[in-house]
Amino acid sequence: MKSADIPDNEQQRLKALQETGLLDSPPEERFDRLSRIAQTALNVPIALISLVDECRQWFKSKQGLSVSETPREFAFCAYSILNDKVFEVNDTKEDSRFSDNPLVIDDPKIRFYAGCPIQSIDGFRIGTLCVIDTRPRVLSVAERSILQDIASAVQDEIKLTEKLKATKKNEQRLQSILEGTNVGTWEWNVQTGETVFNERWANIVGYTLAELEPISIDTWMSLAHPDDLEKSNELLQQHFRGETDFYDFNARMRHKDGHWVWVHDRGRLVSTTESGEPLLIAGTHEDITKQKQAEREIKSQREFLEKIFNSNVVAFFVLDEAGKFTYANAEAVNVLGLEPQESPDKTNATFDDPRWQITKIDGSFFPPEELPFPVVRRTGQSISDVQHAIHWPSGEWKALSVNGAPLVVGAETHYVFAVRDITQQVKSEQALKASEAQFRSLVNNIPGVTYRCLHDEHWTMLYMSDKIDPLSGYPATDFIQNTVRSYDSVIHPDDKERLEREVSKAIENNQEWLLEYRILHRDGGIRWAQEKGRAIKNEEGDVDYFDGFILNITQQKQNQDELQTQLAAFKALNQIASLSPENPLQRITQGLNLACAYLDLELGIVSRINEQAQEYEIIAYNAPEEADLTTGQTFPLKDTYCQIVMSEGETVAIENMATSKYRQHPCYEAFGLESYIGLAINVNGHPFGTLNFSSAHPRGEPFKETEKQFLGLLARWVSSSLEFKHKNEALENSESRLRGLFELSPIGIALNDYETGKFVDLNNALLAPTGYTREEFISLSYWDVTPREYEEEEIKQLEVLADTGRYGPFEKEYIRKDGSRYPVLLNGMVVYDDNGRKLIWSIIEDISERKRNEEIKNAFVSTVSHELRTPITSITGALDLLLGGTFGELPTQATEMIEVAKKNSVRMNLLINDILDLEKLLAGRMQMHFENLLVAPLLEAIIDRNTPYSRRYQVNLELYPIDPSLCIYVDAQRFEQVLANLISNAVKFSPKGETVKIFAEETGEYVRISVKDNGEGIPEEFQPRVFEKFAQANSSNTRATGGTGLGLSISKEIVDRLGGNIDFITDSTGTDFYIMLPKPTCALEVDE
């Protein structure tokens, strides 16, 4: 058997067949009547009207045959549609093309066939009218003619069907157009006044048709504006007389709400009476209110544009016939890259001026003849949105959009152009294109499967991306058109019913679907897919195909499973972490119990390893009741799996010892433990032992990474618990030692409640000088033992304590039980007890003996200073007399010796004066005479008096400019004493030729006065002692620089008495001593 060839126009033919709508349609009498006529007229048992589609021939009408279709490969009609002639087979058994055809061999046992092709309205042969006999025969010429005539009748019926279908479609399209344009329609019988409006006509004026009943021409007349009726009638009469093709009029009509709407009525005379009078006119009724508003807006905009033309918002210029500028606004000058004075209409410039170059936007060549001006001049037509770039001599460029048109001015033609700067728009578009290219590249690399498939039981793929390969193990080509297998074949059977149900539901609700299901991978495993898809429907609402996207979520599913395992681990760890910490070993045992339940292993042990003795000791364990284990039990390390852990130095996990490399291990032979997991633990940073779990049963799968991580976290918790146990033991020992020190300390120590001041605890050294018993003293607060005159200082120290957590040292007195007082020195800090209560921990030293010693020392120094002052003065006077020649000229050597004696007597006198000043300051007996003084003249005088001293050291003094109104409130003599001391120190420690700088400035509420030298700076180790008595940085340097070591100590005491403070800043480049004095509340007048 040989199948018929496929027509060259097969695809167009099939499309024409589908468009007839006849395939698979119900039987129709009009076609059955024609097939019966053919059967009777030609005296055959079978007559058919056959339609040939892609895979079959289907019978629209059949006589003498029960089946509705046969495969196309068996079809005689497939030959008939190859040309326009009648196809006749006189004896099928004699024709090699059909002799073995199943329709010949079996029922209906065809021996004769004749078929005449049937064409669609477009001329495509879509089927045949055929007659069949069970015996050989030959058609006569008349019979052939009958067959062709009946086929033509069938063809006419088909064409009629197509025309009716097209007509119906056109009617629907016309109705859609009318509805889409939102236009009203009307018909008017001019002779009777009878009128028909559609619903839209009524809606335009705010009514429904029902509200306007009864409807006549008077309905229109009552709603129309009175001023428009006369013009409307005039235009109607012109149309009736044949002077115009249409009645066309814009009128106003009153809306139901009371306002006027504009309508455009356009109609045409449809018929006339026998006497030629107008009878029926029909037309459209359109709401043009918005159009009228737009016209008003256009008028307004026209006026607005006239103003814009003369503005600088858009570039406007005018060229004459020669291309010379005759007008250019300011923006045009800017676009051309010119200065205002270079305006082209004032410099006889032309459009092709060499100062600018015109190219296409992308920089390529722009043909001169295609530039806006040559085009408009040549064609006389306007142009719009011609885009090009203009390049200035500076290298800058702009993108321009040009609109232009000829402008006739009298007998001359000019050319006006409006130019818009679109540089930013062009740059944005270029950036957008680059972004789009990046986006397309991103889409092409999305890690998922995109597909398009048919809505059938196989999910027949029309397109599928290559990303399906890793998900299923098969290439995409296997699935497309089910070449090797269908996509349905790799979906897990247990998921198919659910998928079909969910997809059907999504189609019904016109929604997308998002589904997760399993894929049977080529390697025999399971992969998880997540699919998002939607049905694409045709105009009739039937599904054409599915589009979608499939992601491989296998790893996500595995992660979810792993997450569940982790959550179980975290739950177990949380339970373990919440165990009571009071008994660490009991807590560890409870933790082992919970861990065994999580790991599903019955034995858990924390061990201590003695590496020197190679011994394994059980510290804590969880085991079945029958296990023969006790805390403290020991084993040789080599007989335990922990020996593997210690040698490997990492987590050891064995799920089946019998199949592992450790099956010969002594522990396996002795205890038969099949599964094991363990790792080493450290305590306080040192190796301690192991944490391990085991079972007499092998595991079905390897230990998971989560279980190993769980073991690591548990090991850290066990280590922390053991460290806590050791620390508690150490803390108890430490507390015992500290209690002993507390009780035996020779200095008083007390613990007070921060809020109440009550004594919580105290030692014997504090109690001894008070005269109280412990019970009596404990009942007191520190206010009970503190004289009230110290209250201000106490409050100050408490504020310091609140800010810094510490206070002191400071001195005050305590009141004994008998009312007497004794001096104490206090230091303290804030602490908290176990319950979070705030306490003050104080060291209280009885300084009675120290005070007595200081009084003795001060009395001694004062006595010695006064007793030495008179003889030193006498010695100095006598030496002056000798050096002055009162007793004659002395030998040179004697003079030198006397000068040395005088220098030392002067130095001794200075030392005595410093000691006496310091003694007065400390005793509070130095008198101060405060007054407001201007800083500038005060410092100038002090510097003048110290300049001779600085010159001896070849060092300059420089006073920096000072605000003339700056003043201070001081004792002038004592202030000069301080500043002279600072200047003399700066001079002594500055290299020769350097300058000591003196500054004064206002800083907030203070006046800052500083003296800065350029010496080597103060050594770091000496800085804390700078203001101590007799302190010098380098005593070996005393002879070179002089000084008693009391100057800075005296200066500090004086500055304190002046209400200020003194401090310094030092480094290797020099030292800056500065005084901070409060600013006076009143200002002084400056003497001009």
- State the CB neighbour count (10 A cutoff) for residue 42: 19
The pLDDT value given to residue 913: 64
Residue spans of alpha helices (H) in 630-749: 642-648, 666-671, 705-744
Looking at residues 875-903, what average pLDDT do you find? 74
What kind and span of H or E run contains 802?
Answer: helix 791-804
* For residue 303, pLDDT beyond 60: no
Looking at residues 706-719, what average pLDDT do you find? 87
Looking at residues 917-924, what average pLDDT do you find? 58
Q: List the one residue out of 151, 156, 155 whose CA is nearest residue 114.
A: 151
- Note whether 7 and 81 are within 8 A (CB): yes
Using DSSP's 3-state secondary structure scheme, residue 523 falls into coil
Using DSSP's 3-state secondary structure scheme, residue 469 falls into helix
The pLDDT value given to residue 709: 86
Q: What is the Cα gyration radius of the chain?
A: 58
Q: List the one residue out of 750, 714, 757, 721 whose CA is nearest residue 593.
A: 714
Band of residue 256 on the pLDDT scale cut at 50, 70, 90: very high
- Note whether 358 and 374 are within 8 A (CB): no
d(CA 212, CA 195): 12
Residue with tokens 């200065």: 339
* For residue 436, pLDDT beyond 70: no
Looking at residues 322-351, what average pLDDT do you find? 86
Q: Provide CB contacts within 8 A for 177, sequence distance 6+.
A: none
Residue 865, both tokens = 């200073």
* For residue 967, pLDDT beyond 90: yes
Band of residue 263 on the pLDDT scale cut at 50, 70, 90: very high
The pLDDT value given to residue 727: 79
- Note whether 996 and 951 are within 8 A (CB): no
The pLDDT value given to residue 915: 63
Q: List the one residue out of 812, 821, 815, 814 whose CA is nearest residue 793.
A: 812
Per-residue pLDDT tens for 638-664?
Answer: 999 999 998 888 899 999 999 999 989
Higher pLDDT, 928 or 438: 928
d(CA 1014, CA 953): 14
The pLDDT value given to residue 9: 92
CA angle 461, 464, 469 (to 5 degrees): 115
d(CA 179, CA 306): 40
Residue 488, both tokens = 């349905």
End-to-end CA distance of the chain: 135
Per-residue pLDDT tens for 519-530?
Answer: 999 998 899 999
- State the CB neighbour count (10 A cutoff) for residue 471: 20
* For residue 22, pLDDT beyond 50: yes
Distances (CA, A) of 787 to 784, 790, 811, 820, 827: 8, 6, 12, 11, 18
Question: Strands (DSSP E) along 64-194, which ranges?
Answer: 69-71, 87-89, 112-119, 125-133, 184-189
* For residue 312, pLDDT beyond 60: no
Residue 983, both tokens = 């200047």
The pLDDT value given to residue 226: 93
Using DSSP's 3-state secondary structure scheme, residue 152 falls into helix
Higher pLDDT, 859 or 223: 223
Pairing of strands 995-1003, 956-959: parallel
Residue 830 dihedral angles phi and psi, to the nearest 5°? -85, 135
Pairing of strands 461-464, 449-453: antiparallel
- Note whether 843 and 742 are within 8 A (CB): no
What kind and span of H or E run contains 748?
Answer: strand 748-753
* For residue 512, pLDDT beyond 50: yes
β-sheet bridge partners, residue 324: 350
- Note whether 977 and 1052 are within 8 A (CB): no
The pLDDT value given to residue 916: 61
The pLDDT value given to residue 1035: 44
The pLDDT value given to residue 1022: 86
Band of residue 911 on the pLDDT scale cut at 50, 70, 90: low
Per-residue pLDDT tens for 594-643?
Answer: 889 888 899 999 999 998 889 999 999 999 988 889 999 999 999 999 99
Distances (CA, A) of 893 to 393, 896, 899, 900: 95, 5, 10, 11
DSSP string, 622-650: E--TT----TT-EEEGGGSTHHHHHHH-S
Using left for φ > 0, alpha for ψ between -120 and 50, and beta otherwise, residue 1082 falls in beta
* For residue 816, pLDDT beyond 80: yes
The pLDDT value given to residue 443: 45
Residue 284 dihedral angles phi and psi, to the nearest 5°? -115, 160
Report pTM: 0.30
d(CA 210, CA 223): 16
Residue with tokens 């310094």: 1064
Residue 817, both tokens = 């039980």
d(CA 358, CA 374): 13
Band of residue 445 on the pLDDT scale cut at 50, 70, 90: low
The pLDDT value given to residue 925: 57
* For residue 1036, pLDDT beyond 70: no
Length of the chain: 1088
- Note whether 690 and 680 are within 8 A (CB): yes
What does the DSSP 8-state code read for residue 578? Answer: T
d(CA 89, CA 111): 8
The pLDDT value given to residue 1040: 45
- Note whether 896 and 883 are within 8 A (CB): no
Residue with tokens 């289907």: 58
Per-residue pLDDT tens for 743-791?
Answer: 777 888 888 888 888 888 888 888 889 899 988 888 888 788 889 888 8
Looking at residues 96-104, what average pLDDT do you find? 92
CA angle 284, 285, 288 (to 5 degrees): 130
Per-residue pLDDT tens for 539-585?
Answer: 888 999 999 989 988 888 877 776 666 666 667 667 776 665 567 88
* For residue 480, pLDDT beyond 70: yes
Looking at residues 83-88, what average pLDDT do you find? 92
CA angle 298, 300, 306 (to 5 degrees): 100
- Note whether 483 and 496 are within 8 A (CB): no
Pairing of strands 1006-1012, 967-971: unpaired
DSSP string, 90-148: S-GGG-TTTTT-HHHHSTT---EEEEEEEE-TTS-EEEEEEEEESS-----HHHHHHHH
Looking at residues 421-435, what average pLDDT do you find? 82
What does the DSSP 8-state code read for residue 396? Answer: -
CA angle 33, 7, 113 (to 5 degrees): 45
- Note whether 629 and 621 are within 8 A (CB): yes
DSSP string, 222-272: HHB-HHHHHHHHHHHHHHHTTSSSSEEEEEEEE-TTS-EEEEEEEEEEEEE
Per-residue pLDDT tens for 31-44?
Answer: 999 999 999 999 99
d(CA 885, CA 276): 166
What's the mean per-residue pLDDT of the chain?
A: 85
* For residue 694, pLDDT beyond 90: yes
